[in-house]
Structure 1
Amino acid sequence: MSQLSSLQSALTSAGAAPESDAPVHVQKLDQFGRAYATGRRKDAVARVWVKPGTGKITVNDKDFSAYFARPVLQMVLQQPIVAADRNGQFDIIATVVGGGLSGQAGAVRHGISRALTHYEPGLRAVLKKGGFLTRDSRTVERKKYGKAKARRSFQFSKR
């Protein structure tokens, strides 16, 4: 027992702190200086690249305002950038497939959030608090046999 206490006192006197269990997040960039992440929502999957730039957002080779015509979807897309206070600092390129427009916007938002944390690990706390890093797992329930839809029964006939 005395050996253990002498070892701990030697470590603390040497300035070495005991290791914490908190994960260390490091910057992850490709050879072009971009951060990559995948975002998912419903049936949509988005591949997102973030690089320093002028704030241009491109989705499937179109400007994001042309691809997502509804203002609500444009707002959803910009939420992580506004929350991180990085307006006009990053160019974002996204390719998204599957699902409808709402699911695609959610997938791109999830991908942007994850890519921002890969580029700037310090933003993780802000984006996590806003709920942008959590994958929304709600999907359409499958249809069951003997039912009209997932849960709806066929109309009951008394006679």
Structure 2
Amino acid sequence: MAEGLEALQSLSSNPAPEAVVREPQIDAQGRAYATGKRKNAIARVWIKPGKGTITINGRDQEVYFARPVLRMMIAQPLQIADRLGQFDVTVTVEGSGLSGQAGAVRHGLSKALTYYEPGLRAVLKPHGFLTRDSRVVERKKYGKAKARRSFQFSKR
């Protein structure tokens, strides 16, 4: 019994394992790349130090995402990380609708920021920006009007 206590005490006295130190993942052009996904949208995001321009599919963000809510959604990771206006962001996004695409860009931008500056992971993770929102549209089943809705019942 005493041996068991000694073993437990030796385990509890050991220091906690050291946190994993991540290296920045930057390519030869000084960019960080990440892929973001939401619904059926896939966004490929490149960030590099710059003036803060955001280009989506070759167009300015104000042109591509006309709704201010979508532009605000994209800027959230940069605001929380306090990096607004410090990175030039280039995005190619396809699939889904504008809302899904904005979510994909936000996810990809958050991942790219953590690849460029691994220390930002602790800032972005609690806000849920690094989590891929896995909700997608449910498929339509045979014998149903939609995914779950049945055809209208007729007594006669």
**TM-score normalised by length of structure 1:** 0.87
- C-alpha deviation, 1:51, in angstroms: 0.2
- Aligned letter for 1:148? A
- C-alpha deviation, 1:158, in angstroms: 1.0
Partner of 2:73: 76
- Aligned letter for 1:54? K
Cα distance in 1 for partners of 2:121, 2:100 equals: 23
Partner of 2:22: 25
Cα distance in 2 for partners of 1:113, 1:91 equals: 14
Cα distance in 2 for partners of 1:103, 1:59 equals: 14
Q: 1:71-121: per-residue Cα shift (whole Å, max 9, x none)?
A: 110010000000101011000000001110000000000000000000000
Cα distance in 1 for partners of 2:139, 2:83 equals: 40
Cα distance in 2 for partners of 1:119, 1:85 equals: 14
From 101, 105, 110, the counterpart of 1:104: 101
Partner of 1:138: 135
- Kindly report the root-mean-square deviation, in angstroms, between the aligned alpha carbons of the 2 structures: 1.7
Q: Secondary structure at the match of 2:136?
A: coil
**TM-score normalised by length of structure 2:** 0.88
Cα distance in 1 for partners of 2:18, 2:142 equals: 48
Which residues of 2 match residues 4-153 of structure 1 at below 5 A? 20=17, 22-153=19-150
Cα distance in 1 for partners of 2:141, 2:52 equals: 46
- C-alpha deviation, 1:25, in angstroms: 1.6
- C-alpha deviation, 1:18, in angstroms: 6.9
- Aligned letter for 2:39? K
- Aligned letter for 1:151? R
Paired positions, count:
145
Gaps of 5+ in 2: 1-9
Gaps of 5+ in 1: 1-7, 9-16
- Aligned letter for 1:124? R
- C-alpha deviation, 1:50, in angstroms: 0.4
- C-alpha deviation, 1:20, in angstroms: 2.1
